[in-house]
Structure 1
Amino acid sequence: MQKLTRIITLSVALTVVSGCSYVGVYKRDIPQGNLVTQEMVSQLQPGMTQEQVTYVMGRPLLEAPFDSSQWDYVFRLDKAYGDVEQRRVTLTFDPRGRLANIEQEGDLSKALPFEAESSIGPATEGVDPMDALPEESTQTPIPPSAQTAPRT
């Protein structure tokens, strides 16, 4: 009976301990969609053409399939150890293709927590990887005594 109690206690303890992990799993932020900032939206003005809007905002993430007069720019940032931030800008065009209405959802003025990569990263296709390396000066410096102007 005492042996059975020890076995049950040990198996319950192992089950409880195996469910608790002190070592965390690496997570990263996942940005999706069109990056939308307040600076971009502030450049939009009613009456702009679709080409002008595309120049400022880029191509929309969503175009209504049955109504090409509405464009949706959606940005979603799933923070690794936090909540989800979502921004949405809906642009409506009149029948002539001019911007008529701008609707915003989310806090566009808040800066996004993007960190710049310090490493070089993968090379772009068709580019020599050696071109991505920082250039070093290959010329030898001229000593100050030799930099005087020649005498005539």
Structure 2
Amino acid sequence: MSANHHYSIQTASIVLACAVLASCSSAINPVNWVTPYKVDVIQGNFISSEQVEQLRPGMSRDQVRAVLGTPLMASLFHADRWDYVFTLKRQGVDSQTYKYTVFFNGDQLERFAGDAMPSEAEFIAKLDNKRKLGKVPPLEATEEQLKAAEKPSAAKPAAGSAAAVAAPPASPQTTVYPPLESPKQ
């Protein structure tokens, strides 16, 4: 068998192995087992349905800014229009974009329109990323825990008692350590 024939068989085997690996489904392909972490990208002003409910025609620009925040886009050519745009990009989920526009007549809010905005609870539920870290402990103390915390310990006298005033403070024990450096000769 000649050397050229040996190299052509080796090359054909490598090409065939690559083709077989490339044709495997994503479940079998080891390249797809590890995916890089991709950060959620949140851009713009999120406006909740609760904020939209607070808008009333006749509000001043400052009042609208207090409710919705500073607009993402305020054009010099459209001074009576503020655009609020919010985009959420997450790994494995289609990009979501919400737009809301408020129109002014002078300094007064004339009208407002845009996409149906989610409530704050709905938005937070969208951010939930299926990773459950365990049950959240209760953040309130029970009545028994509050009563136990109120009781002074028997070893410690009350602040105004004679035993607390008469007893001198305990002196801490001092420990002597050798010097860090050797004495100079």
Return the TM-score normalized by structure 1. 0.68
Written as runs of structure 1 = structure 2, the 5 A alignment for 1:2-151 is 3-14=7-18, 17=21, 21=31, 22-95=33-106, 97-109=107-119, 110-112=122-124, 113-114=126-127, 143-144=153-154, 146-147=157-158, 150=161
Unaligned runs of 5+ in 1: 116-141
Q: Kindly provide the amino acid, as one letter, of the partner of residue 109 in structure 2.
A: L
Q: Kindly provide the amino acid, as one letter, of the partner of residue 13 in structure 2.
A: T
Q: Kindly provide the amino acid, as one letter, of the partner of residue 36 in structure 1.
A: I
Tell me, in whole angstroms, the C-alpha distance in 1 between the residues paired with 2:117 and 2:71. Answer: 19
Q: Which residue of 2 aligns with 1:130?
A: none
Tell me, in whole angstroms, the C-alpha distance in 2 between the residues paired with 1:50 and 1:107. Answer: 21
> Per the alignment, do residues 12 and 36 of structure 1 end up closer, same or farther by CA in structure 2, a change over 3 Å counting?
farther
| Bigger Rg, which one | 2
Q: Kindly provide the amino acid, as one letter, of the partner of residue 111 in structure 1.
A: F
The residue matched to 1:53 in structure 2 has which SS? helix
> Per the alignment, do residues 107 and 67 of structure 1 end up closer, same or farther by CA in structure 2, a change over 3 Å counting?
closer
Q: Kindly provide the amino acid, as one letter, of the partner of residue 123 in structure 2.
A: A
Contact 2:83/2:102 (CA < 8 Å) preserved in 1? yes
Q: CA deviation at 1:43?
A: 1.1
Unaligned runs of 5+ in 2: 24-28, 129-151, 163-185
Identity of paired residues, percent? 27
Q: Deviations over 1:91-140 (max 9, x none)?
A: 00113x1111111215423324346xxxxxxxxxxxxxxxxxxxxxxxxx
User: Which sits farther off after the overlay, 15-24 or 52-61?
Assistant: 15-24
Q: Kindly provide the amino acid, as one letter, of the partner of residue 11 in structure 1.
A: V
Instruction: Tell me which protein shows more helix as a share of its residues.
Output: 2
